[in-house]
A and B are shown apart, each in its own frame.
Chain A
Amino acid sequence: MLNRLLFRIAPFVCLALLANVVDPAFAGPPQGWDFMPLDKALKVAAKEERRVFLYFGRHGCPSCEKTNRDSFSDPRVIEHYKKHFVLAYGDSESGKRLRLGTGERITEMELGVKLKVFGTPFFYFMEPSGKPIVRAPGYQSAEEFLLFDRYVNGGHYKEKTLAEFRAAGA
């Protein structure tokens, strides 16, 4: 159902405007990565025809910090994700505003409501158009992120489910 919801909002989001940053949150995406608000990321993705990797976290989230330390510090993950994806980040408690392509201007917290982010971290992979590809809730190891990269960037999602991809030896 979440994929259906993402599918509905994605075309609107991809036409979005720049975010108005108003909430000086502290914890968040890993240091040294170039994450941006989702609306800006989708605009860049559409222009550059690159897929989007959305990281939905929360200020002070233990599993987010564990992911940052364990997985986003891995040189292979850094190299592949920076090369293959436009990176987006949202905070499920933040009052930062972003504008959807429908024209609706909402906070990142409200985006979390729309995306049913019941826990963090929550990761989404999207087409350059914003169409959802696959999502990954909860902590992910570096190996898992590399598997997602192979599945998405290799275009395997067009022919196989993630489970089929795993079963085939990924």
Chain B
Amino acid sequence: MKYLIAVFAFCLPVAAESAGWRFEQPQELTPQGVGGHFHHLDGAGRRHVAAGTGGIAVTWEDDHSGAPQVYVVIRLNESNGFPARYQLSNGEEAYEPAIVSAGPGRWLAAWEQDENVVARFIDAEGPGPATVLAEDGARQVTLAGDDAGQVAAVWARDRSAGQLLESASLRIAGRAVELAELAVSVAPLQSHAYQGYPTATWVPDGRLVVAWEDRRAGHTRLFYSSRKTGGAFVAERQLNEHNEPPPDEALDVRLGSGVMRVMLSTDTGGNVRAIWLDKRDAASGYAVWGAASADGGRSFGTNAIVQDDLGSAVAQWHAALAGGPGGFVAAWDDTREAWGDESESGDVIISAQEDASWSADLVVPVASGEGYQGSPAVALDQNGVLHLVWISREDLSAPTRLFYTRAHREH
């Protein structure tokens, strides 16, 4: 064990240097409340930070008002900090927000609120009016936005036979969000007992690519599909490869090794990547696996593990993905540096993909160390600058703090 720790201590700084990122000092996004409260960066697609040409927006849920509600901060390009903070939700409880850029200095956010999915437009003047996108047990909403301001939403909704996904393009009329079309099903529910936790991304030919968790087989698998606005989704295809039980547990039931929380993103070259948490190696818990598409999300290649060997002995959690100029960045948290640390801490880790493979992992220097630093969300702006938000707490039960930083590639 001591030898392994020594190897870790020697290797990690090298990995950090080779990863080639220069991080700015983190900014705390919310004041610390008296007695503490709890922030969460949680939701389908982990779209909690949006980087557009006009600035940055971050959304999260916290309970400082006495109930879980959804908030946003925005920073315009000319600002040094995040001067504007707004409460977006206006119901009894709200969870799992997503936010995307909707043009220069414009954003669109959506979240779950009292079993509905609600959306609002945000700009320098603040939020516009709230619009209910879906009712009657709607949840797990995610958004996709592109440089032209095109925005689509995908959400899960209760049905008598289970839970299915619906999607609709959105438009902004004045300062209000509107459904630009009737919502359509992403995949038929007839044989789909459960579809959930969707993620979506636009590709250059104008199609929306969607991936999600699907439990029709009696265990969780990941599927993907796509459509052009106004059209129907094409027949879904399976994304994850490994889903059979080990041979020594060949029970007469439909079971799998476990996958969850898939993320999609597109880079400026039109390449699409997917990453997700995958427990095909049961001994170390969930790991981050991914797949690449070079044809705009019509097909994906062989599954490949994202994190490097230094992360293979511990579980990974909260995987997030951003695409932009120069490729993709994946982020997650794990406890590879927590051996012997009784606080059971986690740290934020990133890996960048520029060509065919993922870089050596980088333990983010400003989002690691004592206590827990995790639950990251990431975005890349038009200059390839990485924007990162995460949760910090003394341990996994302590009150939380919310931080933001940005990082520049070092060439």
Contacts and interface: CB of A to CB of B under 8 A. Distances in A.
Interface string A48-89: 000000000011111101100100000000000000000000
A93 B197 CA distance: 11
Interface string B332-368: 0000000000101000000000000000000000000
B315 interface: yes
Given A93-B258, A95-B140, A113-B317, A5 B395 contact: yes
B396 A61 contact: no
Contacts of B197: 95
A136 interface: no
Contacts of A106: 40
A107 to B, nearest CB: 7
A62 B245 contact: yes
Contacts of A23: 163, 196
A63 B256 contact: no
Interface stretch (B124-132, B174-182, B215-223): B215-223
A116 B395 CA distance: 13
Nearest to B346: A113
Given A60-B215, A116-B344, A69 B251 contact: yes
Given A5-B344, A24-B194, A26-B215, A62 B251 contact: yes
Contact of A8 (B42, B158, B397): B397
Interface residues of A, number: 42
A109 B213 CA distance: 14
Contacts of B397: 5, 8-9, 12, 100, 102, 104, 114
A110 interface: yes
A110 B397 CA distance: 11
Contacts of A92: 258
B218 A5 contact: no
A62 B162 contact: no
Residue from B162, B245, B283 whose CB has the most chain A CB atoms within 10 Å: B245
A63 B251 CA distance: 9
A107 B40 CA distance: 11
Given A66-B251, A103-B63, A107-B42, A59 B396 contact: no
Nearest to A22: B139
A65 B253 contact: yes
A166 B48 CA distance: 50
B68 interface: yes
Contact of B342 (A1, A62, A66, A117): A1
A114 B251 CA distance: 30
B27 interface: no
B309 interface: no
A62 B255 contact: yes
B98 to A, nearest CB: 14
B44 to A, nearest CB: 9
Contact of A59 (B38, B42, B219, B249): B219
A4 B140 CA distance: 33
Contacts of A59: 215, 219-220
Contact of A93 (B37, B163, B217, B260): B260
A64 to B, nearest CB: 9
Contacts of B285: 117-119
Contacts of A110: 42
Interface in A135-149: none
A104 B63 contact: yes
Residue from A26, A59, A102 whose CB has the most chain B CB atoms within 10 Å: A59
Contact of B258 (A2, A12, A61): A61
B13 interface: no
A4 B218 CA distance: 35
A118 B193 CA distance: 26
B63 A63 contact: no
A119 B344 contact: no
A59 B216 CA distance: 11
B251 A26 contact: no
Interface of A: 1-2, 4-5, 8-9, 12, 22-27, 58-63, 65-66, 69, 92-93, 95, 97, 100, 102-107, 109-110, 113-114, 116-120
